[in-house]
Chains A and B, each alone.
Chain A
Amino acid sequence: MKITGYRVEQYLMKMDRLVGDANLPSGVEMLPGSILYLETDENITGISLGYGGGIDALFGAIEGADPREAVALWIRMNDWLHKAGNEGAASASLSAIDVALWDIKAKLADEPLWRTLGAREGRVRAYASGLDYCLSDEELFAFYRRMAEQGIDTGKLKVGLDVEADLRRLGIMREALSIASPRPGLMIDANEYWSPKQAVRYVRQLEEHFELIWVEEPARRWDYHGLRLVSQQVNAAVASGENLHNLAQVYPLIANRAVDVINVWTGQSGVTGLRQIAHMAHVHGLPVSMMNAQANYMAHIAAALPNHNMMEVVDPGREHCLKWDNHLEDGFIVLGDAPGFGIEVDEAKLKELQANPPTGRGKFPFPRREGAGRYIVPPPPGEVPWR
């Protein structure tokens, strides 16, 4: 079996609702999508969802190779990037290709990827994440209640700009989740809006009223001193890692005990790269948590990780041209037996999206907010519906 070619399709989606965090609390509803199709000589195509443009530069490393040799091909691609480094656009391409290779590997074995990766069952605990700074109090309640109705008892709130409002909204999230558990799990995410000491002051104020499981990105992604300082000074665990792209970048966080939970996803150099990170965390006794994904496809990888705790579910409506084989049940993502990631592309819908791109408010990704890491710029009236 040989890799023979590829194509990339890009399109634009309008999600069902706005999503936003401390950096852009007014939110966006437009999301660029891309699909990498990795083609083989055996009528099996690997599908990789995400932001993988710029495949050309790396395709030479894998052309003609057997896609089942995914890990060795990862090493080869990583070696190709020796001088420039597995960073930025190159890293996104490597990640996208690696995901497609694993999809092919599982499809050729005619089994779901969770089985290829050695999981005992295709079942992953989920937590709800609203990306909800742009939601009104009512919309916030509705989102977490809808999730609780599917058995999810843990939620992660976007915070960072207004202690009073965040306290109120933590209460709303807890109330909405309370039908799933008498003691819902509460988490917060500041998306690097604070300095470490701002984070300590802010989180400890919240902790006077709520017990928090973790605070995500309370300081910059690489600041292992700052992240460790926060971890030591608040009750909550510190989670980080989603904006780092390979094991070498995550290494200082693990080796210096800077974080308590590592956020993982395929953007960390693919299935192979995120697995390296999870394995290193595992040896250090640290759990990992899978990021949200279109059609929850990354649950396949999470199911086989030895130290995975729970996966983020956002469900903002990003599956316009996709068919998938998993569902939420009793608070778990339950994966089916369709081969590979179980993702199929509805080509007609994709063409339709490309021919008639939808329009809407804002577009991913958005920049860092003014004052980040130094001072708080609270949303003025009109920027968010909750002030």
Chain B
Amino acid sequence: MKVTGVKVTPYAFPPAGKPAGRHATSGSIVELMTDSGLTGIAIGADGAHTQIERLVGEMLVGADPRATSGLWRQMTDAQAAPNEGYASTTIAVLDVALWDLKSKANDEPLWKTLGGSRPRANAHGGGIAPTMSDHELVDWYRALSRDYGLRGATLVIGGDEDRDLARLEAMRTTLRQETTAATLIVDAEQRWAPDEAIRRLRTMERMFDVAWVEGATRSGDIPGLKQISDAIRGAVCVGRDLGTRAEFLPHFQDRSADVIELDIGVVGITGALELADAAYGFELPVTLAEAPGNIQAHLASVMPYFMSMEVVDPAARWPVFTSDVRIEAGWAIAGDAPGNGLAVDREALSAATRDGS
């Protein structure tokens, strides 16, 4: 089995009805084609098609897509600026497509090819756009907890302090209507200096039991994050925007993170598996950032210290593709469709391509 080429189809759709700020409103469908007729599918960023086409031409055409680990190494080794920025997301999206092919070649779902058991991955609600009104916020958390059973949710904070506290109270009250185990997560989006983070988080912790904080300060500030972790009760979560082993290493070594967040859109599936094993060595829990189609659920059961995965849209309303992962009673459950379970909706894609161009 050999890779013969790639087709990248950019799409765009309006953000209306999307309460979550992070959810991409544009992107591209990446289809890795082979001589066996199987196609590997992954969802990439918008505007990345030049890099993707070049990398496929240089590295993947003619290669056996089942060589996920070897090709990952070849792609990351070949980068002048190894695995950072665009290079990182380009390699990651191709790695996801290669794993899709590898599991399709086995005619089994990705979770099984990875060596997993049927994933029932603990899930939590992702970050909410600060632009949402308080009323919309409550409706949103109610939907997450009542309709999908999510026990944890994230609030983006870091603006006005009183407003943050009021909204956190609203989130807690709403979640508690459905569960006794409400998990409160906050994301300050790297806006604070360490001393400001400590002051604001300590104030918050006088009223709230915060499970973990994302973006407490800049992700490159190892001593600052360590200082925050030493000063607050909750866990400091780091990793969403880190792409390389070299970027994660100081956080492991200096314990500047208590929770490691991995984004398969940045570190790929292969990188996520490597980093999850390293995190396990340090007894650090792993959370998986949102991925289109929630396909990160496939990885949960092969990560020894998997903790939770982020879900931004439990209703799975992706306009141009469908996913075989569903959110139910607080768990993300992957189905039995071969590969990662993503399927392209051709009609919607062609409409979205037209609208976006």
Contacts and interface: CB of A to CB of B under 8 A. Distances in A.
Is the pairing of A and B real?
A: yes
Interface of A: 65-66, 68-76, 78, 105, 109, 111, 115-121, 247-248, 250-251, 254-255, 272, 275-277, 279-280, 282-285, 304-306
Interface in B5-41: none
Contacts of A111: 66
Contact of A118 (B108, B117, B270, B277): B270
A250 to B, nearest CB: 8
Interface in B112-136: 112-117
Given A118-B270, A251-B282, A279-B278, A69 B117 contact: yes
Nearest to A65: B117
Q: Which 10 A-B pairs have the closest CB atoms?
A: A120-B70, A118-B69, A71-B115, A279-B277, A72-B117, A118-B68, A283-B278, A71-B302, A280-B281, A120-B67
A282 B73 CA distance: 11
Looking at chain B's contact residues, is the secondary structure mostly helix, strand, loop, or mixed?
A: helix
A306 B249 contact: no
A52 B278 CA distance: 27
Contact of B253 (A105, A255, A282): A255
Contact of A276 (B68, B69, B117, B277): B277
Contacts of B270: 118
Contacts of A118: 66-72, 102, 270
Given A120-B74, A279-B274, A105 B115 contact: yes
A349 B273 CA distance: 41
Nearest to B106: A109
B304 interface: yes
Given A247-B281, A283-B248, A283-B274, A306 B116 contact: no
B69 to A, nearest CB: 3
Most buried by A among B68, B105, B304: B304
Contacts of A277: 281
B243 to A, nearest CB: 13
Interface in B274-327: 274-275, 277-278, 280-282, 301-302, 304
B245 interface: yes
Nearest to A98: B115
Looking at chain A's contact residues, is the secondary structure mostly helix, strand, loop, or mixed?
A: helix
- Sorting the interface of chain B by its residue count into under 10, 10 to 19, 20 to 34 or 35 or more gives 35 or more
Contact of B275 (A69, A73, A121, A283): A283
Nearest to A279: B277
A282 B245 contact: yes
A117 to B, nearest CB: 6
A184 B68 CA distance: 33
B278 A306 contact: no
B166 interface: no
Interface string B96-108: 0000001001101
